[in-house]
Protein backbone atom coordinates (compact mmCIF):
# COMPACT_ATOMS: atom_id res chain seq x y z
CA UNK A 1 0.00 0.00 0.00
CA UNK A 2 2.87 2.40 0.78
CA UNK A 3 4.43 1.65 -2.60
CA UNK A 4 1.14 2.38 -4.36
CA UNK A 5 0.71 5.64 -2.41
CA UNK A 6 4.13 6.79 -3.66
CA UNK A 7 3.19 5.73 -7.18
CA UNK A 8 -0.09 7.68 -7.00
CA UNK A 9 1.80 10.81 -5.91
CA UNK A 10 4.09 10.45 -8.94
CA UNK A 11 1.15 9.94 -11.32
CA UNK A 12 -0.75 12.89 -9.84
CA UNK A 13 2.28 15.12 -10.34
CA UNK A 14 2.60 13.95 -13.95
CA UNK A 15 -1.08 14.68 -14.64
CA UNK A 16 -0.71 18.18 -13.14
CA UNK A 17 1.99 18.86 -15.76
CA UNK A 18 0.08 17.54 -18.77
CA UNK A 19 0.27 20.99 -20.40
CA UNK A 20 3.72 22.04 -19.18
CA UNK A 21 6.08 22.61 -22.15
CA UNK A 22 9.07 20.27 -22.17
CA UNK A 23 7.85 18.33 -19.11
CA UNK A 24 9.37 14.87 -18.72
CA UNK A 25 7.22 12.18 -17.14
CA UNK A 26 8.47 9.84 -14.44
CA UNK A 27 8.24 6.06 -14.22
CA UNK A 28 8.52 4.06 -11.00
CA UNK A 29 9.94 0.57 -10.83
CA UNK A 30 8.63 -1.81 -8.18
CA UNK A 31 10.21 -4.95 -6.82
CA UNK A 32 8.78 -7.59 -4.52
CA UNK A 33 10.34 -8.49 -1.21
CA UNK A 34 11.42 -12.08 -0.67
CA UNK A 35 8.88 -14.89 -0.48
CA UNK A 36 8.19 -17.02 2.57
CA UNK A 37 7.90 -20.80 2.27
CA UNK A 38 4.86 -22.10 4.17
CA UNK A 39 4.88 -25.49 5.92
CA UNK A 40 2.24 -27.60 7.60
CA UNK A 41 2.89 -27.15 11.34
CA UNK A 42 2.06 -30.81 12.08
CA UNK A 43 3.67 -32.72 9.23
CA UNK A 44 6.31 -30.22 8.10
CA UNK A 45 5.15 -30.65 4.50
CA UNK A 46 5.72 -27.65 2.24
CA UNK A 47 2.44 -25.96 1.29
CA UNK A 48 3.57 -23.11 -0.92
CA UNK A 49 4.97 -19.59 -0.84
CA UNK A 50 3.53 -16.20 0.06
CA UNK A 51 4.84 -12.79 -0.95
CA UNK A 52 5.84 -10.25 1.69
CA UNK A 53 4.97 -7.10 -0.24
CA UNK A 54 6.51 -4.74 -2.76
CA UNK A 55 8.71 -1.68 -2.67
CA UNK A 56 9.68 1.07 -5.12
CA UNK A 57 13.27 0.45 -6.14
CA UNK A 58 13.83 3.60 -8.23
CA UNK A 59 12.16 6.40 -10.15
CA UNK A 60 13.21 6.97 -13.76
CA UNK A 61 12.55 10.07 -15.88
CA UNK A 62 11.68 9.53 -19.54
CA UNK A 63 13.82 12.09 -21.39
CA UNK A 64 12.58 11.20 -24.88
CA UNK A 65 12.13 14.30 -27.10
CA UNK A 66 8.51 15.19 -27.81
CA UNK A 67 6.76 16.83 -30.75
CA UNK A 68 7.14 20.59 -31.18
CA UNK A 69 4.19 22.97 -31.24
CA UNK A 70 4.41 26.21 -33.22
CA UNK A 71 3.40 29.24 -31.12
CA UNK A 72 4.67 32.17 -33.17
CA UNK A 73 5.89 33.85 -29.96
CA UNK A 74 9.39 35.35 -30.45
CA UNK A 75 10.61 34.33 -26.97
CA UNK A 76 9.34 30.76 -27.13
CA UNK A 77 12.12 28.26 -27.88
CA UNK A 78 12.19 24.50 -28.31
CA UNK A 79 14.92 21.89 -28.56
CA UNK A 80 14.51 19.78 -31.69
CA UNK A 81 16.25 16.54 -30.72
CA UNK A 82 18.64 16.08 -27.82
CA UNK A 83 19.92 18.82 -25.53
CA UNK A 84 18.94 21.24 -22.76
CA UNK A 85 18.71 24.98 -22.21
CA UNK A 86 20.70 26.31 -19.24
CA UNK A 87 19.47 28.82 -16.64
CA UNK A 88 21.26 30.38 -13.68
CA UNK A 89 19.35 29.84 -10.44
CA UNK A 90 20.22 30.78 -6.84
CA UNK A 91 21.28 27.13 -6.41
CA UNK A 92 23.58 27.21 -9.43
CA UNK A 93 23.20 26.37 -13.11
CA UNK A 94 20.24 24.15 -13.92
CA UNK A 95 19.05 22.68 -17.21
CA UNK A 96 15.58 22.63 -18.71
CA UNK A 97 13.60 21.68 -21.82
CA UNK A 98 10.87 24.24 -21.07
CA UNK A 99 11.58 27.09 -23.47
CA UNK A 100 8.64 29.35 -22.52
CA UNK A 101 10.92 32.33 -21.87
CA UNK A 102 10.31 36.04 -21.26
CA UNK A 103 12.21 39.32 -20.97
CA UNK A 104 13.09 40.32 -17.40
CA UNK A 105 13.38 43.84 -15.95
CA UNK A 106 16.99 44.07 -17.17
CA UNK A 107 15.99 43.22 -20.73
CA UNK A 108 17.56 39.77 -20.54
CA UNK A 109 16.04 36.45 -21.54
CA UNK A 110 14.67 34.59 -18.49
CA UNK A 111 12.52 31.59 -17.68
CA UNK A 112 9.11 31.78 -16.00
CA UNK A 113 10.77 31.92 -12.56
CA UNK A 114 12.96 34.86 -13.54
CA UNK A 115 16.17 32.82 -13.86
CA UNK A 116 18.47 34.17 -16.61
CA UNK A 117 18.75 31.93 -19.69
CA UNK A 118 22.37 31.36 -20.71
CA UNK A 119 24.11 31.44 -24.07
CA UNK A 120 26.73 28.99 -25.39
CA UNK A 121 29.40 30.63 -23.21
CA UNK A 122 27.07 30.55 -20.17
CA UNK A 123 26.52 34.29 -20.34
CA UNK A 124 23.11 36.05 -20.04
CA UNK A 125 21.28 36.78 -23.30
CA UNK A 126 20.12 40.27 -24.19
CA UNK A 127 16.67 40.63 -25.75
CA UNK A 128 16.72 42.80 -28.89
CA UNK A 129 14.83 46.10 -29.12
CA UNK A 130 12.13 44.43 -31.22
CA UNK A 131 11.51 41.85 -28.46
CA UNK A 132 13.20 38.94 -30.20
CA UNK A 133 16.29 36.80 -29.65
CA UNK A 134 18.37 35.12 -32.33
CA UNK A 135 18.08 31.36 -31.62
CA UNK A 136 21.82 31.05 -32.31
CA UNK A 137 22.44 33.08 -29.13
CA UNK A 138 20.56 30.57 -26.96
CA UNK A 139 22.88 27.95 -25.48
CA UNK A 140 22.20 24.26 -26.02
CA UNK A 141 23.94 21.75 -23.76
CA UNK A 142 24.34 17.99 -23.70
CA UNK A 143 23.61 16.62 -20.20
CA UNK A 144 23.87 12.81 -20.33
CA UNK A 145 23.43 12.39 -16.56
CA UNK A 146 20.47 14.76 -16.17
CA UNK A 147 18.48 14.28 -12.95
CA UNK A 148 15.28 16.06 -11.99
CA UNK A 149 15.59 18.96 -9.56
CA UNK A 150 11.96 20.03 -9.82
CA UNK A 151 9.29 19.55 -12.46
CA UNK A 152 11.07 21.65 -15.12
CA UNK A 153 14.68 21.82 -13.96
CA UNK A 154 17.48 19.26 -14.06
CA UNK A 155 20.91 18.97 -12.52
CA UNK A 156 23.88 17.35 -14.20
CA UNK A 157 27.20 17.94 -15.90
CA UNK A 158 27.21 19.18 -19.48
CA UNK A 159 29.67 17.50 -21.83
CA UNK A 160 30.14 17.48 -25.57
CA UNK A 161 27.94 18.98 -28.25
CA UNK A 162 24.23 18.04 -28.27
CA UNK A 163 22.63 16.47 -31.33
CA UNK A 164 19.64 18.83 -31.29
CA UNK A 165 19.06 22.39 -32.40
CA UNK A 166 17.24 25.43 -31.03
CA UNK A 167 14.07 26.57 -32.78
CA UNK A 168 12.30 29.85 -32.07
CA UNK A 169 8.54 30.42 -32.06
CA UNK A 170 7.84 26.88 -30.85
CA UNK A 171 7.58 24.85 -27.64
CA UNK A 172 8.15 21.18 -26.95
CA UNK A 173 5.04 19.33 -25.86
CA UNK A 174 4.69 17.63 -22.49
CA UNK A 175 6.08 14.11 -22.28
CA UNK A 176 2.98 12.87 -20.47
CA UNK A 177 0.38 10.61 -22.07
CA UNK A 178 -2.76 11.55 -20.06
CA UNK A 179 -4.70 8.45 -21.11
CA UNK A 180 -1.92 6.10 -20.01
CA UNK A 181 -1.46 8.02 -16.75
CA UNK A 182 -5.17 7.76 -15.93
CA UNK A 183 -5.17 4.00 -16.64
CA UNK A 184 -2.09 3.58 -14.42
CA UNK A 185 -3.77 5.64 -11.68
CA UNK A 186 -6.92 3.48 -11.74
CA UNK A 187 -4.82 0.31 -11.64
CA UNK A 188 -2.84 1.64 -8.68
CA UNK A 189 -6.05 2.56 -6.83
CA UNK A 190 -7.40 -0.98 -7.31
CA UNK A 191 -4.20 -2.49 -5.92
CA UNK A 192 -4.36 -0.12 -2.94
CA UNK A 193 -8.03 -1.02 -2.28
CA UNK A 194 -7.15 -4.74 -2.44
CA UNK A 195 -4.52 -4.17 0.24
CA UNK A 196 -7.06 -2.33 2.40
CA UNK A 197 -9.55 -5.19 2.10
CA UNK A 198 -6.87 -7.73 3.02
CA UNK A 199 -5.98 -5.79 6.18
CA UNK A 200 -9.66 -5.40 7.10
CA UNK A 201 -10.21 -9.15 6.68
CA UNK A 202 -7.19 -9.95 8.86
CA UNK A 203 -8.39 -7.54 11.57
CA UNK A 204 -11.88 -9.05 11.55
CA UNK A 205 -10.45 -12.59 11.74
CA UNK A 206 -8.21 -11.70 14.69
CA UNK A 207 -11.12 -9.96 16.42
CA UNK A 208 -13.33 -13.06 16.06
CA UNK A 209 -10.51 -15.31 17.22
CA UNK A 210 -9.94 -13.17 20.32
CA UNK A 211 -13.66 -13.20 21.08
CA UNK A 212 -13.87 -16.98 20.65
CA UNK A 213 -10.89 -17.61 22.93
CA UNK A 214 -12.26 -15.22 25.51
CA UNK A 215 -15.60 -17.01 25.50
CA UNK A 216 -14.18 -20.51 26.16
CA UNK A 217 -15.00 -21.96 29.58
CA UNK A 218 -12.43 -21.75 32.43
Termini Cα distance of the chain: 41
Q: Residue 79: name the closest of 92, 94, 93, 63 by CA.
A: 63
Beta strands in 10-52, from DSSP E residues, in sequence order: 26-32, 35-39, 46-51
Distance CA 142, CA 164 (A): 9
Distance CA 215, CA 168 (A): 79
Pairing of strands 35-39, 46-51: antiparallel
- For residues 210 and 203, the answer to whether their CB atoms sit within 8 Å is no
What pLDDT, in 10s, does the model give residues 2-37?
888 888 988 998 999 988 999 999 887 766 655 556
Distance CA 147, CA 133 (A): 28
- Indicate the domain borders of the chain: 2-18+26-61+176-213, 64-175
What pLDDT, in 10s, does the model give residues 40-92?
667 777 766 555 566 667 778 889 999 999 999 999 999 999 999 999 999 99
Neighbour count for residue 30 (Cβ, 10 Å): 13
**169: pLDDT strictly greater than 70:** yes
Amino acid sequence: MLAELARQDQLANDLANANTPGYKADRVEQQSFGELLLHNTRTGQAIGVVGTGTQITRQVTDLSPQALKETGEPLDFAVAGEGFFAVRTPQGIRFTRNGAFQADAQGQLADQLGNPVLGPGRQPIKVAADGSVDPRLVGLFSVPNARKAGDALFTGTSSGAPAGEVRSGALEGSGLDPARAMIDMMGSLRVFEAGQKAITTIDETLDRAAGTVGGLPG
